[in-house]
Amino acid sequence: MNYLQVYFQEVTQVYQGQNATEHSYRPALKKLMESLDSGIQAINEPKRIACGAPDFLVKNGVLDVGYMEAKDTEVLNVKKSLIKIAQNMLNFGRRIKIF
């Protein structure tokens, strides 16, 4: 079984329990990210950054690769969250000087 199959199996099991929240899916996502490469570390609930509080910081060694948001499975909540994330990123981008 490949990494994605394991991830979807774990997420499905959590979902079928009918008691899951956004945080319930994070262990499976962390496991998936870290299974991609031995140098990758996914940090759940890292410190706040200028544009908000990401759910994960993904690192490869000392390099910060990126930030991730983990959302619940409800489509409407995901759409609202993506809009909020995009607005935060745009606001953050306005404060950055590009040389």
> Which position has the token pair 């390099």?
63
Helix axes 3-16, 26-35, angle to 10 degrees: 180
Bridge partner list, 44: 56
pLDDT tens per residue across span 79-95 = 566 667 666 666 655 55
How far apart (Å, rounded) are the C-alpha atoms in residues 58 and 74?
A: 24
Instruction: Show the tokens assigned to 3.
Output: 């990494």
Please tell me whether the overall predicted TM-score, pTM, comes out greater than 0.85 for this model.
no
pLDDT of residue 92: 57
The mean pLDDT of the chain is 78
- Looking at residue 85, what is its pLDDT? 66
